[in-house]
A and B are shown apart, each in its own frame.
Chain A
Amino acid sequence: MPRNDRNGAVAIGFHLLFIAFILAPLVVVVLVSFTDKGFLAMPFGGASLRWWWAIGDNPRFLESFWFSLQLAFVTATLAALVAVPAALAIVRFRFPGREALMALLASPLMIPHVVLGVALLRFFAGLGLVGSFVALAAAHLVVVVPYMARLVTAALAGLDPRIERAAESLGAGRLAVFRRITLPLILPGVAGGWTLAFITSFDELTVSLFLASPSATPLPVRLFTYIDQMTDPLVASVSAALIAVTAVVLVVLDRFYPIDRLLTGERRA
């Protein structure tokens, strides 16, 4: 590579400031979680793990953690079941209403989450389902479907339809073609979409806030309402645990599915 492709000193300086800005709030949270004080303080005057142990003494946070895991699992799986067939229809067929279907699948991205939250609150209140797992799963499904649809559609569009036709001409039925040929080939896209849907659901706050109940409280809602009342280092240790888990997931995920492709739906970037 020619030397003039490199960044200059100013560019490197800007980049370091940018990285510092991005990481500052996360690093601070992790540091504060190791304090030995009863209030938000840096651990330099005295460090301890007491606030990490405190997570175990607060069953409500653990309850919400498990609840969020289940919710994210169900949401991501439902999203795959709904989006994969729809993406097949969009990529493999030309039919009236195809554009409308594409717009419908992408539309939740344009709707403010507060609006979605109040609309679903009103809707599920009428059905007596506010505070139920079903209501939260349906709400999260709406939120994550666009991501899933985008990644699966991109995966399908990159697939040579002649492979499927070859299998069909050799006598494979439609279902067999899908199960044995199409699905394995688009699996990276589906898996990437599933992971992104899982993470998005796990992190979702605003819509959940309207639909949660004491017995059905996802972790971000638990954290948000806790912070609303008080901010002690317990918030920091729970947050730091979430940051740690996300970091591990991110590094592992990046090996299999580069993060920029996951988030943009681009086939190559």
Chain B
Amino acid sequence: MSASRFAPAALSAPAVLALGVALLLPLGGIALLSFQGFDFDKGIIPRWDLANYASLATDSLFLEALARTFRIAVIVTVICLAIGVPEAWIIHRMAPRWRGLMLLVVVGPLLVSVVVRTFGWMVLLGGNGLINQGLRALGVPGAPFRMMFTEFAIILGLVHVMVPLVVLAVWASLGRLDPALARAAESLGAGRLTAFRRVVLPNIMPGILAGALMVFCLSASAFATPAMLGGRRLKVVSSMTYTEFLNTLNWPLGAAIAVLLLLAILAVTLLWTRLVERRALRRLGVG
């Protein structure tokens, strides 16, 4: 059929056109912009060099924000795995009528705007917030504690936003698991924990690793939660980009920060995927 030779092109044209114009062109534009200069009187200066990147490499504020961004992302990922994986396993083992409801409760907040969810933490963590009121009522020495505008607050808020994603990813791979596996292990005398660690865990590892990558990337690029819970001084790379573009108006420098963030995320994704693939091959006894 001659028609079917052109059918794929015709069918994919709208998507390619839309993403080409609204994604690839703008990304290319921002990459070009990052090589240009800036002057507070004249605006963007048409020159082409690496001056923006050079100045970022020695900018202590940027380096500090960069370190903070990745430190927070690592901690958030570790915590999300530590509590999200067991939670998915627990929900998986529940009686069916509880299972659906509990999954809805855990995953449902994903559909509520991050602004709303983070605002809840502002109410809880403030100097006069609920947690401090409770601590003072209990007579805890040192209360009220300063929790807002700390890295602790950012991490707590991000864990709350991200952990449902881990539960979901692990839940999906648990669904593909033969329920007889864990039971067989237990009937052969393995304790509940041993059965989980030796039989279930290796089988759901792909889901865990995929969830970890997603949480890391989303935490490293998160904007709303760090901006709302970290305040104006605790900058992460995302909020720094925002400031350069909408407050300082040094677009070329902001573009350079954005490009670096994107490259860092892409590099982590590629490395992680390679690592995971190599691990899978080793398990199959190939690598």
**Residues 1-31 of chain B: 1 if any A CB is under 8 Å from the residue's CB, otherwise 0?**
0011001111111111011011101110110
| Interface pair B106/A22, CB less than 8 Å apart | yes
Contact A26/B120 with A89-B7, A123-B26, A205-B114 known, Cβ cut-off 8 Å: yes
Query: Smallest distance from the beta carbon of A247 to chain B beta carbons, Å?
Result: 7
Chain A interface bracket (under 10, 10 to 19, 20 to 34, 35 or more): 35 or more
- Whether, in the assembled complex, A66 has its beta carbon less than 8 Å from a beta carbon of chain B, the answer is no
- Whether, in the assembled complex, A191 has its beta carbon less than 8 Å from a beta carbon of chain B, the answer is no
| Interface pair B111/A145, CB less than 8 Å apart | no
Contact A5/B183 with A15-B102, A18-B106 known, Cβ cut-off 8 Å: yes
A112-156 residues with Cβ-Cβ distance < 8 A to B are 112-123, 126, 138-139, 141-142, 145, 149
The chain B residue sitting closest to A233, CB to CB, is: B123
| Interface pair B258/A26, CB less than 8 Å apart | no
- Segment from A49-57, A103-111, A157-165, A180-188 that makes contact with B: A103-111
| Interfacial chain B residues near A14, Cβ < 8 Å | 86-87, 90
**Residues 2-28 of chain A: 1 if any B CB is under 8 Å from the residue's CB, otherwise 0?**
101111100110110011011111101
**A52→B251 CA distance, assembly (Å):** 40
| Interface pair B8/A98, CB less than 8 Å apart | yes
| Interface pair B238/A114, CB less than 8 Å apart | yes
- Whether, in the assembled complex, A170 has its beta carbon less than 8 Å from a beta carbon of chain B, the answer is no
| Interfacial chain A residues near B53, Cβ < 8 Å | none
- Whether, in the assembled complex, B151 has its beta carbon less than 8 Å from a beta carbon of chain A, the answer is no
| Interfacial chain B residues near A25, Cβ < 8 Å | 117-121, 123-124, 160
Query: Smallest distance from the beta carbon of A76 to chain B beta carbons, Å?
Result: 14
Counting chain B CB atoms within 10 Å of each CB, which of A199, A206, A268 scores highest? A206
Chain B interface bracket (under 10, 10 to 19, 20 to 34, 35 or more): 35 or more
Q: Which of B115, B172, B261 contacts A115 (CB 8 A)?
A: B261
Counting chain A CB atoms within 10 Å of each CB, which of B4, B112, B228, B246 scores highest? B112
**Residues 241-278 of chain B: 1 if any A CB is under 8 Å from the residue's CB, otherwise 0?**
11001100001001100110110011001000000000
| Interfacial chain B residues near A85, Cβ < 8 Å | 10-15
| Interface pair B104/A250, CB less than 8 Å apart | yes
| Interfacial chain B residues near A246, Cβ < 8 Å | 108, 111-112
Query: Smallest distance from the beta carbon of B228 to chain A beta carbons, Å?
Result: 7
| Interface pair A115/B30, CB less than 8 Å apart | yes
| Interface pair A203/B114, CB less than 8 Å apart | yes
| Interface pair A206/B223, CB less than 8 Å apart | yes
| Interface pair B93/A243, CB less than 8 Å apart | no
| Interfacial chain B residues near A2, Cβ < 8 Å | 183
| Interfacial chain B residues near A149, Cβ < 8 Å | 15
| Interface pair A89/B11, CB less than 8 Å apart | yes
| Interface pair A264/B121, CB less than 8 Å apart | no
**A22→B172 CA distance, assembly (Å):** 20
- Whether, in the assembled complex, B54 has its beta carbon less than 8 Å from a beta carbon of chain A, the answer is no
| Interfacial chain A residues near B11, Cβ < 8 Å | 85-86, 88-89, 93
| Interfacial chain A residues near B14, Cβ < 8 Å | 81-82, 85-86
- Whether, in the assembled complex, A236 has its beta carbon less than 8 Å from a beta carbon of chain B, the answer is yes
- Whether, in the assembled complex, B168 has its beta carbon less than 8 Å from a beta carbon of chain A, the answer is yes
| Interface pair B111/A269, CB less than 8 Å apart | no
| Interface pair B18/A82, CB less than 8 Å apart | yes
Query: Smallest distance from the beta carbon of A24 to chain B beta carbons, Å?
Result: 7
A-B contacts, 13 of them at CB < 8 A, read A15-B91, A26-B109, A28-B130, A86-B16, A90-B12, A112-B262, A120-B26, A123-B26, A219-B113, A242-B113, A249-B111, A258-B100, A264-B169
Of all A-B residue pairs in the complex, the 7 with the closest CB atoms, nearest first, are A25-B120, A112-B221, A269-B175, A119-B26, A123-B26, A86-B15, A89-B11
